[in-house]
Structure 1
Amino acid sequence: MASANIIALLAGLASIVSAGPMTDRAANLGPLSLLEQIKVPEGWSSTGNTHPDTMLRMQIGLKQSNVKGLEQKLLDISNPSSPNYGKWLTKEQIDAYVKPDDKSVNVVKDWLASHGIKDVTHSAVDWIEVKVPVSTAEKLLNTKYSTYKDSKSGVELPRAIEYSLPASLHQHIDTVQPTTSFLRDMDLKSSANTTAPTATGHVARATCQQGIMTPGCIQSYYNVDYTGQGRSLLGVSAFTGYAASHSDASAYLNYYAPYAGNTDFGEISLGGGNNNANNLLEGNLDTQIALALGYPAQVNLYMVGDNNNFGDQLLDLTNYLNTNSNPPTSISTSYGIEERDISNNYMGRICNEFMKAGSRGISAFVSSGDYGVGGNNSPSCPNGYLTLFPGSCPYITSVGGTGYRNGNEVAAEFQFNTGPGKSGGGFSWYFNTPSYQSSDTNSYINNHLDSSWNGYYNARGRGYPDVSLLAENWNIVVNGQGSYVSGTSASSPAWASLISQINDYRISLGKSTLGFINPFLYSSAGKAALRDVTSGYNPGCGINGFPATQGWDPVTGLGSLDFAKFRQAAARL
């Protein structure tokens, strides 16, 4: 009995010794300190506490070692005047800039292990991923998860509006998700006049005289003079709750783009995403535009996130772009959230992820919004105009909307079946003006905005959109029937599709893809290939917005494009 007790005592001591260093390290991380906090965004409401057994795919963003160096490198290789233009980086080269130091990785893993979390993977060199039940996540982050429902889409997500970490971990971690990310679709709506031709027979309208947007109209109006050979890869994204129909795509192409034959889009699942949702409007618009205008490029629908393995959808998308060996050369996303409804940590980190994608040679396009300066259609702007992220990120190309009036383009005036809308735009409250556009935004502010605008916008903020394109009354097919839809959710995939064609042309010349195109857009050569849109404005939330003017403006950006001129200018880079 005595020997048995001695053995038990020694075993206990061994257990204490082996657990001691880990426990001590975890205990020495300091007191808990708030890392991120937001308010519940408009349109989302809690349906109650999330069940403690609900599984979360938790992603931890580690501090990036030299992200400023990567930023400087990107601004060099995307500068049309640089001898290094177009020398996009490999994944390994990008990883060398952002890889956290070993100390950060070890400290975070020790912290996780102290909570019994040992199954740790790296979704990227600067991201750690673990799968935990909500009950564990709540203890880990000193928070409470609730299930929030989006009143517009019906999507339900477990989220926490604030969370805390040990104070000493703040120097190692940028963000932990899913917590404060409430990304939503741009709320694409049918036009007030929803009656459209049934998708039978063949139609190839070459003009836009009736104000209805079709592939033939776009190709004619924007002087599209090149059809690729399938050398580029084009992507559109669909997040939780949205899907796209293959049969509708076939009917659309048969009716409006018979030259595309039996072309179809591929499906790539990210974060457990699937193509089974009932809401087809956004997904059908994106895939049908991409297939028609991007033909014969391979078009992939990136289905991001599901309702069974919760994670952050935008992060899932950017991680794919930054780690996959064959990412799209251009991609469109029609989702956003008001900057006021998202934490600065999260915004900054996701913007860095798009910076990484641009450094790989990927052109990322995002809709600028459909409610002028009113964000996602907020009824009031008590603290200034509302700006949308990720379109406000300086490493994304933000796309506004225009309308067709008597052969000319003006700032879009959407007539939705639920009310009016305008092309979204403004100045970020968080991101500073990037160097590539500073002279243009300063010129607009100095020449067109007097002191009466003070307090409504950030004169030092990143201005958006960058460009625009026809966005009213696009004819698409939904459930076999023609439907008219409007919004910058149409102009963004159209821009991505046209750039995909130009990427194909550059590849045929032995050149690189256009990649992060904003510095080129704002260059003299880029502006010469664009069509300035100088008429219109973008009010929102019950107050006046900005006016469209000559040159860049926060309504239509630098304008739309003349494809032939743009292709020729791009070929000279």
Structure 2
Amino acid sequence: MLGQRSILASCVALLGAQSALASPQPESPAVGPADGSTVVHASVIFHQPRLEEAETLLLEISNPQSDKFGQYLDRQALEELFAPSEESQRKVLEWLESAGIETKQARLRKASASIEFPATISQMEGLLKTEYQMSHDSRTGKRQLTSSAHIIPKGLEDHVHFVTVTAGAPVEPNKPNLKRRSQPSAVSPLALRDTHTPTDLRNCSLSWTPSCIRDLYGIPLGTEAAPNNSMGIFGYGDAYNQADLDNFWGKYVEFIPQGTAPTVNSINGATAPGPRVDGEQILDLQMAYPIVWPQEVVVFQTPYNNRGGIGNAFLDAVDAEYCTFDGGDDPVLDVTYPIFGGWQGPAMCGTYNVTNVVSISYAPDEKDLTPHYVQRQCTEWMKLALRGVTVLVASGDTGVQGGMGCMLGPGGVTSFSPLFPGSCPYVTAVGATQVDFNGSEAQEVAVYDPKHNFYSGGGFSNVNAQPAYQKEAVAKYFSAHDPKYPEGTYNKSGRAFPDVALLGANVTISDRMEIVVSGGTSAAAPLFGAMINRINDERLLAGKKPIGFLNQILYQHPEVFTDITVNNNPGCGTEGFQAAEGWDPVTGLGSPKFPALRDLLVNLP
């Protein structure tokens, strides 16, 4: 029974408060004027006016009712979509030439909408009407270029976003032609781990083993794996222990051979298997493997980032253009290389191919990132969606208050705190449920565990607008269940999440060679990801493409979900939101009926 102890060994992993509440960055005192003859690497970053067009295209190609359904973009088509206009390119080249910069060495990066080129500091000073100083960065011990604000000439403001200048070797010319943060913080689970071992592992109410989970959702065992369809899991600092995997296979998944392990794509020096940090990765793998088998699993292992940002190292590694898009990674929120005693760099760019499905169980508070950081990364999630990649993200485990607490809104109102990247409309956010028993009757409800402060995360983005695919469902919810909180408590017009919910309480895992029960939306996300990967297997074996971006399809077909209408997600001194008929900000559309979901998605073109 759920009245027994429900121990959460590892919930969705959230970044610590220190990563958001940083000490001031050390000043970089000037050394003196920069040598004008020094050659630097410069980039002109274009505005991307076609973002709205790209979003519209995504909604068309992910809409089963559209003639464009399933026509996801390859890299070349994606580059063409985001390439700056011919007029923008011409104006920028003329501008560079006016400052004496040789444009024959310039290089256009279409997908990142930038032009890179070598130039001397004197040329850049003339181009931008500024003066460069050489300064000393006391944090890294290195010299760096600084300048006053640069000036974009009249007539170019609508074409050029900004310009970056870094010391370094000149870029290679085009072959054919140009056409917080300082304080370290550990990833920590939201609930205490315990070594409680259920007295009867056959009793699913106490311990949801893989066979129990398959029975709950009607998932048959996999029999055939499609080529090139490994499931991707985002790894972040934490690592798995092979002995735990073998222990779990032997006890609960005997059809998986001993020694079975994921392929690890190491990013920027991160390694796995390795020391356990919070047990997150072992949870992800033990949720996913029993469902996707005999399919393979790939872990994209990134190093822990003590500055507050998340996701950019992975996105860089699977998309070379993202490394330079919008000027590159955030110098405050993202790790810079080299690191003393660590990865010497440069950061990996385009090293790995992305999998068709990626599950992410980590999330910082949206408020602890800049709006620019959120929007820039969200654009990249859209680009992956345009390529046909399905991204599942855990929605959070502390209700409406996010990972590090509530916000102070306008007029002193206590505001809810959404999590990112689940608050991006181009990923599928996954909430958590539990199963209550009344005798032999089981009812799936929103997870509600006051003892561990565990409630399904959900709410509304303060940065990203509400996408068209969910407006009707959200409006219907508020027409009957508006909580009537003070204005400023949440952003009613923001991207609403989660989209779906799955079992996230009392799941059985092996952790540090002990059988324990765990949970969190970080269990639910890889579980749903594994279901989608299984469905992709069938589509690929039938000669179809992976299903790709899910949200538009899911909101059109609520009948393939078990509607969750019980419990709420409290926080910030409120009851949060109430689960209700239809979509709600606690469990989304509900939990999937796998046979119905499978039939729907496999039979689409």
* Matched position secondary structure for 1:499: helix
Matched, 1:536 2:533: no
Corresponding residue to 2:204 among 194, 208, 213:
208
Moved more, 361-370 or 41-50: 41-50
Q: Tell me the equivalent position of 2:507.
A: 474
Q: Deviations over 1:377-406 (max 9, x none)?
A: 416654421111110100000000111101
Corresponding residue to 1:261 among 237, 257, 280:
257
Amino acid at match of 1:223: G
Matched, 1:411 2:408: no
Q: Is the 8 A contact 1:463 1:554 kept in 2?
A: yes
Q: Give the 3 Å change call, closer, same or farther, for CA 555–193 of structure 1 in structure 2.
A: same
* Matched position secondary structure for 2:400: coil
Q: Tell me the equivalent position of 1:458.
A: 491
CA distance in 1, matches of 2:491, 2:596: 34
Corresponding residue to 2:18 among 33, 43, 46:
43
CA distance in 2, matches of 1:78, 1:142: 49
Q: Tell me the equivalent position of 2:378.
A: 351
Q: Give the 3 Å change call, closer, same or farther, for CA 453–189 of structure 1 in structure 2.
A: same
Q: Is the 8 A contact 1:185 1:334 kept in 2?
A: no
CA distance in 2, matches of 1:146, 1:462: 37
Q: Tell me the equivalent position of 1:35.
A: none
Per the TM alignment, residue 180 of structure 1 is displaced from its structure 2 partner at its CA by 7.9
Q: Deviations over 1:106-146 (max 9, x none)?
A: 79999xx99xxx9999796447999xxxxxxxx89999887
Per the TM alignment, residue 364 of structure 1 is displaced from its structure 2 partner at its CA by 0.1
Q: Tell me the equivalent position of 1:30.
A: none
Matched, 1:224 2:219: yes
| TM-score between the two structures when normalised by the length of structure 2 | 0.71
CA distance in 1, matches of 2:588, 2:276: 34
* Matched position secondary structure for 1:238: strand
Q: Is the 8 A contact 1:244 1:280 kept in 2?
A: no
Q: Which has the higher helix share?
A: 1
Q: Tell me the equivalent position of 2:458.
A: 425
* Matched position secondary structure for 1:436: helix
Q: Tell me the equivalent position of 1:485.
A: 518
Amino acid at match of 2:249: L
Q: Tell me the equivalent position of 1:10.
A: none
Per the TM alignment, residue 186 of structure 1 is displaced from its structure 2 partner at its CA by 7.7
Per the TM alignment, residue 302 of structure 1 is displaced from its structure 2 partner at its CA by 0.5
Q: Is the 8 A contact 1:400 1:491 kept in 2?
A: yes
Q: Deviations over 1:410-456 (max 9, x none)?
A: 1112466xx41210000111211111110000111121105445331
* Matched position secondary structure for 2:469: coil
Corresponding residue to 1:282 among 280, 287, 302:
280
Matched, 1:83 2:79: no
Amino acid at match of 2:208: M
Amino acid at match of 1:334: S
Q: Tell me the equivalent position of 1:549.
A: 580
Amino acid at match of 1:498: M
Q: Give the 3 Å change call, closer, same or farther, for CA 164–522 of structure 1 in structure 2.
A: farther
Q: Is the 8 A contact 1:401 1:468 kept in 2?
A: yes
* Matched position secondary structure for 2:364: strand
Q: Give the 3 Å change call, closer, same or farther, for CA 47–294 of structure 1 in structure 2.
A: same
Q: Give the 3 Å change call, closer, same or farther, for CA 320–49 of structure 1 in structure 2.
A: closer
Structure 1 gaps of 5+ residues are: 1-39, 53-57, 131-138, 148-162
Amino acid at match of 2:391: A
| TM-score between the two structures when normalised by the length of structure 1 | 0.75
Amino acid at match of 1:357: L
- Within 5 Å, which residues of 2 pair with 1:331-370? 331-370=358-397
Q: Is the 8 A contact 1:362 1:515 kept in 2?
A: yes
Q: Give the 3 Å change call, closer, same or farther, for CA 295–420 of structure 1 in structure 2.
A: same
CA distance in 1, matches of 2:526, 2:182: 23
- Within 5 Å, which residues of 2 pair with 1:30-179? 42-44=17-19, 46=22, 63-64=47-48, 66-100=50-84, 102=89, 125-126=112-113, 166-168=150-152, 172-173=160-161
Q: Tell me the equivalent position of 1:155.
A: none
Question: Equivalent pairs: percent with the same residue?
Answer: 30
CA distance in 1, matches of 2:503, 2:459: 19
Q: Is the 8 A contact 2:83 2:110 kept in 1?
A: no
CA distance in 2, matches of 1:472, 1:175: 49
Per the TM alignment, residue 538 of structure 1 is displaced from its structure 2 partner at its CA by 0.4
CA distance in 2, matches of 1:470, 1:331: 19
Q: Tell me the equivalent position of 2:248.
A: 252
Q: Tell me the equivalent position of 2:292.
A: 294
Q: Is the 8 A contact 1:49 1:145 kept in 2?
A: no
Q: Deviations over 1:41-68 (max 9, x none)?
A: 833355786798xxxxx99976435222
Per the TM alignment, residue 345 of structure 1 is displaced from its structure 2 partner at its CA by 1.3
CA distance in 1, matches of 2:136, 2:465: 31
CA distance in 1, matches of 2:95, 2:243: 48
Q: Give the 3 Å change call, closer, same or farther, for CA 468–183 of structure 1 in structure 2.
A: farther
Amino acid at match of 2:291: L
Q: Give the 3 Å change call, closer, same or farther, for CA 183–470 of structure 1 in structure 2.
A: farther
Q: Give the 3 Å change call, closer, same or farther, for CA 340–144 of structure 1 in structure 2.
A: farther
CA distance in 2, matches of 1:480, 1:59: 51
Q: Give the 3 Å change call, closer, same or farther, for CA 448–145 of structure 1 in structure 2.
A: farther
CA distance in 1, matches of 2:185, 2:538: 34
* Matched position secondary structure for 1:43: helix
Amino acid at match of 2:285: T
Q: Deviations over 1:287-316 (max 9, x none)?
A: 2222222111110110113679x9965122
* Matched position secondary structure for 2:385: helix
Q: Deviations over 1:155-191 (max 9, x none)?
A: xxxxxxxx99535398645899xx9899999843455
Per the TM alignment, residue 554 of structure 1 is displaced from its structure 2 partner at its CA by 0.2
Q: Give the 3 Å change call, closer, same or farther, for CA 422–345 of structure 1 in structure 2.
A: same
Moved more, 334-343 or 319-328: 319-328
Amino acid at match of 1:513: P
Q: Give the 3 Å change call, closer, same or farther, for CA 185–558 of structure 1 in structure 2.
A: farther
Q: Give the 3 Å change call, closer, same or farther, for CA 481–316 of structure 1 in structure 2.
A: same
Q: Deviations over 1:456-482 (max 9, x none)?
A: 122211110000001012222222222
Q: Deviations over 1:524-552 (max 9, x none)?
A: xx311111100000011332200000000
Structure 2 gaps of 5+ residues are: 1-14, 29-41, 118-131, 141-146, 165-179, 321-349
Corresponding residue to 2:232 among 222, 230, 235:
235
Q: Is the 8 A contact 1:431 1:462 kept in 2?
A: yes
* Matched position secondary structure for 2:363: strand
CA distance in 2, matches of 1:145, 1:559: 51
Amino acid at match of 2:197: A
Moved more, 183-192 or 485-494: 183-192
Amino acid at match of 2:211: G
Amino acid at match of 1:318: L
Matched, 1:392 2:388: no
Q: Tell me the equivalent position of 1:520.
A: 553
